[in-house]
Structure 1
Amino acid sequence: MSEKGWRGADLVFDLDADHLPGVDPSETTYKAMLAACKDALRRLLDFLEADFDFDTIRIVFSGGRGYHVHIRDESIQSLDSDARREIVDYVRGRDLDTDGLIRVASKSGTTQRLLRTEGGWGRRVHRELTALTEELRDLDEQSALDRLTEFEGIGEGRAETVLGAITRNPDAIAEGNMEAGGPGIRLITDALADRVADEQAAPIDEPVTTDTHRLIRLPGSLHGGSGLVVTPIDRADLDEFAPLTDAVPDRFTGTDIDIEVADPCRVDLSGDTIKLDRGVHSVPEHVGVFLMARGDAAKVTA
């Protein structure tokens, strides 16, 4: 044992609906929680594919309330916990600093401060800035000014300056020019960056990614809290993947069992919605296993 040593570990991300902002497990159905988690998964994949250019990505439905994403690239398997934490901070948008999204460029003898539009968080912020300018161009002048003054620090004067720049020189905004529109455009960009960090970050479970000794649930096994299969998903099939249908074990279909339900409940599985009152019921086996695994029912024995 003394000769054994750590050789490396996959980079693993865990998304769990219990940890998603705005999701209250006590108020949200299991089906809705999984849908919210898939949206978060798409945001995570955007970071991993577009920003990090990883191509050895394995996506797995956890069998419970979320998804696991494995990066099996030899170049990252030796990363220690601190290095993995930097990746966590990036995808979570932690301490996102607008200054870091701006580069200085020289054009025709003048220095310009430009938002990084080619990728990363700069691309996301620029996308929101572009959407805002398009929204403003579709409004009448007074409505556009009112919209701009909704941003903190933007009074009537700054709103007029920003709107004038958008109207006269839309190409500058499209290029990410942080000087077009005066100080107001930077204040707006700061506000958009804060919003983008809140809305587009990937709310992963940090300890799973930073722990280089973490054991992850084995694909093909059953999740003990649901009776569903831990299911690998091809990237191309993600949009069509329906966990409450595709992860139901074949072994538990085609047979009914008797269970006793403690409290009224609703189950969405295999495309069916089953509502049960308190008491004894005969249900499809996969429904019974699901409820028993969650502690909501007990099997009735003869």
Structure 2
Amino acid sequence: MSNGIIAADPVRSAFREYYFKRAEMIEPPSDIEKREFGYMQFGGRGMARHLSFRTTGELIATLITQVPSDVYCSNALYRFPTLPMQEKQWLGADLIFDIDGKDLHLPCVSSHSYHCCASCGHVSAPSEDEYSVCNVCGSNKDERIVIPCGKCIEGSKREAMRLHEFLMTDLGIDKLNIHIYFSGNNGFHFHIQDDSYRPLDSQARSDLVGYLMGIGLLVESIGIRKSPGSDNSFVKFPKSGLQAGWRRRVADKLRIDTTSAMRLTNIVKEIGGYSAFKSELEKMTRELGVRIDPQVTTDIHRVFRMPGTLNSKSGLAKVKVRDIESFDGFSDACLLGDAKVKVKLKVPAKVRLRGENYNISKETAELPAYAATYFICKGLALAI
């Protein structure tokens, strides 16, 4: 399976070597003793949770000895992190945002998506046609395996830059308190290191998500008022103007300012009146907003992939991003060793790692560990 835990010795060996040689990459959270940790193991099912570490050294020792496939840490702080959830005594939670390439629904995805049959494991090459049934067993259930292309990564980066701008300009969060990480697969995680956000409950975080995603903006906030008893409207701009936040974004999109009452009136008429403009505004704000995973932000008890650890869906690391525009996850986060590993490809596949193109059309190939691990973790190859 593409997204399951891979039971392959070369992969586990590569992960062990990483945690042994790259311990400096591990970035434990602040207040480590108040966090809940969890991890998954190769070949195992379910997550070992409710774990606690007192020091970074203790955590790294566990990674080296246990060699987990994935490592997680709570965004929340607890008085008793090892106890059952209802007994932990929640003390607050860091604010976290997740941008995942799969949520962008980019048109290029079908051209580099493989289909893995959920019944027999047969993998089909990318095709523009809609998946129907497996060519081997006839099952209609499949798992999609995506190798992100350059367009996917650029799409995620654009979304990350948009979120960064929202956080600084609209929420006023200091740039130094916004920590951006590549997820290790196809997206970015934002960790907000600002104590003022820690007490927020799920509803308050949901309100933040709604604002960032452009949900629920009132037409009145940009100056459109409904005429009593009809679907007609009139313009009365807010006294505070259209210079900030969503008002500025919508005004820029419509190319209006507070001197454009007649222009805005005509725009509303052309669209079809108050109700039609309201619907159009909802579409507009969703397009201008940030596409983030709401559940990640609103869940105040979530365990989240820990910075510096490896992602079993790719073998790439979750690493800090210093500059979004120049960042290249397939190079900057590709940190496994280069010992040779022989693999059997289930289907011809290609990826670019560390500046090298790996376009494998033969059934077997000998690849550097980082490339072999990528194909194995994606479910496109087996170690032999």
Give TM-score, length-normalised by structure 2.
0.59
RMSD value over aligned CA atoms? 2.5
Matched with 2:337 is 252
Cα distance in 1, alignment partners of residues 293 and 111 from structure 2: 21
Cα distance 1:266–1:188, how it changes in 2: closer, same or farther (>3 A)?
farther
1:71 counterpart letter in structure 2:
I
SS at match of 1:68: strand
For residue 62 of structure 1, the aligned residue among 167, 178, 183 is 183
Cα distance 1:201–1:129, how it changes in 2: closer, same or farther (>3 A)?
same
Cα distance 1:192–1:243, how it changes in 2: closer, same or farther (>3 A)?
same
For residue 164 of structure 2, the aligned residue among 38, 45, 55 is 45
Cα distance in 1, alignment partners of residues 179 and 221 from structure 2: 31
2:313 counterpart letter in structure 1:
G
Q: Where does 1:4-83 land on structure 2 (aligned, <5 Å)?
A: 4-23=88-107, 25-28=109-112, 29-31=147-149, 32-55=151-174, 56-83=177-204
Give the number of the structure whose residues are more often helix, by fraction. Answer: 1
Give TM-score, length-normalised by structure 1.
0.74
SS at match of 1:69: strand
For residue 237 of structure 2, the aligned residue among 98, 114, 128 is 114
Structure 1: segments with no counterpart, 5+ residues: 105-111, 131-172
For residue 294 of structure 2, the aligned residue among 206, 216, 236 is 206
The Cα offsets for residues 7-33 of structure 1, whole Å up to 9 and x where unpaired, read as 000111011111113356443451232
Cα distance 1:21–1:101, how it changes in 2: closer, same or farther (>3 A)?
farther
Cα distance 1:103–1:269, how it changes in 2: closer, same or farther (>3 A)?
same
Matched with 1:123 is 248
Cα distance 1:95–1:86, how it changes in 2: closer, same or farther (>3 A)?
same
Cα distance 1:184–1:75, how it changes in 2: closer, same or farther (>3 A)?
same
Cα distance 1:270–1:79, how it changes in 2: closer, same or farther (>3 A)?
same
Cα distance in 2, alignment partners of residues 276 and 38 from structure 1: 28
SS at match of 2:261: coil
2:337 counterpart letter in structure 1:
F
Structure 2: segments with no counterpart, 5+ residues: 1-82, 113-146, 226-234, 272-276
1:78 counterpart letter in structure 2:
P
**Greater displacement, 283-292 / 193-202:** 193-202
- Report the CA distance between 1:188 and its aligned residue: 6.5
SS at match of 2:158: helix
For residue 180 of structure 1, the aligned residue among 239, 253, 262 is 262
The Cα offsets for residues 220-239 of structure 1, whole Å up to 9 and x where unpaired, read as 100011000100112xx221
**Greater displacement, 34-43 / 73-82:** 34-43
For residue 264 of structure 1, the aligned residue among 317, 339, 348 is 348
SS at match of 1:83: helix
Matched with 2:119 is none
Matched with 1:107 is none
Number of aligned residue pairs: 247
Whether contact under 8 Å (1:125, 1:192) holds in the other structure is: no
Cα distance 1:13–1:23, how it changes in 2: closer, same or farther (>3 A)?
farther
- Report the CA distance between 1:59 and its aligned residue: 0.4
SS at match of 2:262: coil
Cα distance in 2, alignment partners of residues 42 and 215 from structure 1: 25
Cα distance 1:35–1:182, how it changes in 2: closer, same or farther (>3 A)?
closer
2:186 counterpart letter in structure 1:
R
For residue 283 of structure 1, the aligned residue among 367, 373, 379 is 367
Q: Percent identity?
A: 30
The Cα offsets for residues 34-70 of structure 1, whole Å up to 9 and x where unpaired, read as 2211111111112111110111111011101111001
Cα distance in 1, alignment partners of residues 216 and 222 from structure 2: 12
Whether contact under 8 Å (2:206, 2:298) holds in the other structure is: yes
Q: Where does 1:89-238 land on structure 2 (aligned, <5 Å)?
A: 89-102=210-223, 113-114=236-237, 116-130=241-255, 173=256, 175-177=257-259, 179-181=261-263, 183-187=265-269, 190=277, 193-234=281-322, 237-238=323-324
